Structure 1
């Protein structure tokens, strides 16, 4: 069979939800006094949108092959990422065979290395890579998880990230991860409030339900150690992304100091095999949490996971909807998945990337059977009701 080439690459921007799930309206739990690195400034403490967490919006990368097959993917990065995709990355994609995914990744990464390596550039690269996997799956008429080697279990289990773990338990999830609401700048009073919230949730959900804290890079080492020690009394399963993603030394010390049985997790804002190699070789954490839309795409997540598997570390990708589901169900060292509760009050299960994707599967009673992932590619469609803007062409 003759392999088609990639004829067109197009990059679009869309606002209002989608992959940039922080781009929400007012009154949403995801923007309510959550500890951040900017919380040291009182004027930026109440709302993450106040310091610009939602300024970029969602990036949509669309590919069209010479035989008419199309594929797409979404990630964050918005207009700046669209510029990088159209003006730089397109040259490595258009004209290539749609099976040349490894070569395309290598060329995109090393061509941008002088101004990239992490962050926005790797987000853009990740979007292109995921679109390539979607295109390949649609051309072969197979779901992406088949291309990755096939499912190793019949269903996915999920924990939920939200402000209301008690509601998540009622909805069938295996655990609940809470945003940490008070950071070091709020002193001992804030620390006590964090512990009180955990204690209240533990009383609501009982002793067997997982509870975790998502600290979103907001702490310094001593505060993180103190928080972990006090939270241990209330059965905290793990403390997540407590420090700056560049502070490998701090994470290594936190892992040493954490109470026995409590897990240290991080990696949501890490990128590429080299960044995760640092986390693993320096023994920074028990679980790595790459986001497939930010770490380098599916092509790179495969390599990251192999590094972790060799060291006996778990890989629990940061919530990225179908893009991580297809991966998690194929890996023994990814035994469960994250689901972000995107209902404003965290009281119902709605699609994570709503309203941008159609046919986006969601867990039922905290579980998702492999059959829900059996459509070609990633199995989702763009919602035609969402307005896509193409700010640049090439």
Structure 2
């Protein structure tokens, strides 16, 4: 099989990006690996594109701060776990848990895509094979940040997206309630109850609070009043690094507490499980270490009786990686899916294809080699940036 012959780092940015919103699909950075057999593999990470590009192209300074080409060129892409360790060791000094892990994540995803194509198998088979016979996405429902809109306008948009997701076949959703100071906590309780009533009892519903609270008492006050709403999990309740607060909340809440969407590597996730005591960890595959590391995280969660539901608000590359993760990793009840038919985004809609169909809440296992997606080269040429 072909060895890695070249590495390309491609920053992209959509022309209609809104800087004061929270849409992670407005830009991305693609890592494309090309084998000496002509096959290519792609990955992405969720981090500032030009900073990632600078990191991956920096010259070698010493053994702990190496240019990634020195590690990857001539390597066999099927040795993803071994290459992950070499990349981690070789960029330890400038990287470790931050941007360096994000950059490695994109490379790692691209390795699985390339190796899968070279060997003619879907990426999940390279992760050990399927742990389920079909996969279950949840659709994230995000009306955007308020930007002067009233709460009724936002709830109307949430209702529209709910209806669209259900019509598309989703049977699990996540309601984003990033309403800033438009509502009090008491009013938020009623809005979540409205959301549950809109969906009905047959649809699973998680809630993302967008780091609303700075102490666990306030978070618990709300969660205790919606505990009869059949909430799948509560995401981003407290400030990200408040592990002790998460532990206090998890010990009292009847709703499973999620967290760690900004965490990197199994080492940080272990802290969320042992100190933060959360029941659901949510690291982004494109930030937390790629498919190699998310598999290790899943094994850790399986051992500790927790669940892993990765954050996945990015382009179709991340969505494809999420499908293969979910296929191969048992302790995952659902995985995040940004549907381009529910939330409109140029990069999410057009960067890669095809888009799998959802039937009665499930997708079929991926059956194409690698990630099973094709890059839209015309869009890449159009949106490629040299600065941002």
Above 0.5 in TM-score?
yes
Q: TM-score, normalised by structure 1?
A: 0.81
Q: Give the deviation of 1:368 after TM superposition.
A: 0.8
How far 1:254 moved relative to its partner? 1.1
Provide the secondary structure at the position in 2 that maps to 1:73: strand
Question: Contact 1:339–1:352 (CA<8 Å) still a contact in 2?
Answer: no
1:58 counterpart residue number:
28
Tell me, yes or no, if structure 1 residue 151 matches structure 2 residue 151: no
**Counterpart in the other structure of 1:108:** 87
Separation in structure 2 between the aligned mates of residue 200 and residue 224 of structure 1, nearest angstrom: 19
Secondary structure of 1:104's counterpart equals: helix
Q: Structure 1, residues 260-309: CA drift from partner, whole Å, max 9, x if none?
A: 3x111112211101011111122521111222111100111111111111
CA contact (8 A) 1:181 1:194 kept: no
User: Aligned partners of 1:106, 1:210: CA distance in 2, in Å?
Assistant: 38
Q: How far apart are the structure 1 equivalents of 2:229 and 2:290?
A: 36
Q: 1:219 and 2:179 equivalent?
A: no
Q: Mind listing any 5+ residue stretches in structure 1 that lack a counterpart?
A: 17-22, 27-48
Cα distance in 1 for residues equivalent to 2:27 and 2:134 = 32
SS at match of 2:77: coil
2:168 aligns with 171
Please give the alpha-carbon distance, in whole angstroms, between the structure 2 residues aligned to 1:66 and 1:129: 18
Q: Which residue of 1 aligns with 2:378?
A: 385
* 1:351–1:230 CA distance, 2 compared to 1 (3 A): farther
Which residue pairs with 2:101 in the alignment? Answer: 122
1:208 is displaced (CA, Å) by 4.0
Distance in 2 separating the partners of 1:105 and 1:207 = 43
Match of 1:328 in 2: 326
Q: SS of 1:293's equivalent?
A: helix
Alignment deviations for residues 12-58 of structure 1 (CA, whole Å, 9 cap, x no partner): 01112xxxxxx8657xxxxxxxxxxxxxxxxxxxxxx3278669821
Equivalent pairs counted in the alignment come to: 352
Whole-Å separation in 1 of the counterparts to 2:343 and 2:282: 25
- What is the CA–CA distance in structure 1 between the aligned matches of 2:204 and 2:21, rounded to whole Å? 31
User: C-alpha distance in 2, partners of 1:170/1:231?
Assistant: 26
Shift, 1:376, TM fit: 0.8
Contact residue 3 and residue 36 of structure 2 kept, 8 A: yes
- Find the counterpart in structure 1 of residue 53 from structure 2: 82
Q: Which moved more, 1:360-369 or 1:75-84?
A: 360-369
List per-residue Cα deviations over 1:54-97 (Å, max 9, x = no partner): 69821111111122222111222311101212233222111222
Q: How does 1:243-282 map to 2 (within 5 A)?
A: 243-258=238-253, 260=254, 262-282=255-275
Tell me the equivalent position of 1:6: 4
Give distance in 2, aligned partners of 1:347 and 1:333: 27
Instruction: Tell me whether 205-214 or 58-67 shows the greater mean CA deviation.
Output: 205-214
TM-score normalised to structure 2 length: 0.82
1:390 and 1:179 mapped to 2: Cα distance? 30
Sort the Cα spacing of 1:377 and 1:11 in 2 relative to 1 into closer, same or farther, 3 A: same
Q: Is the 8 A contact 1:160 1:173 kept in 2?
A: yes
Point out the more displaced range, 150-159 or 131-140. Answer: 150-159
Q: Displacement of 1:233 after TM fit?
A: 4.2
Secondary structure at the aligned position of 2:323 is classed as: helix
**Counterpart Cα distance in 1 of 2:207 and 2:26:** 26
> In the TM superposition, what whole-angstrom CA distance separates every residue of 1:191-230 from its partner, at most 9, and x where no partner exists?
2332222121222222343222112333212321222112
**8 Å contact from structure 1 (residues 11, 390) kept in 2:** no
Alpha-carbon distance between aligned partners in 1 of 2:360 and 2:10, rounded to the nearest angstrom: 34
Deviation at 1:256, TM superposition (A): 1.1
| Distance in 1 between residues matched to 2:385 and 2:192, nearest whole Å | 44
Could you report, residue by residue, the CA deviation over 1:125-158 in whole angstroms, capped at 9, with x for unpaired residues? Answer: 1001111111111111111112122223221122
Calculate the aligned-residue CA RMSD, in Å: 2.7
CA distance in 1, matches of 2:121, 2:87: 26
Partners in 2 of 1:209 and 1:198 — Cα distance? Answer: 14
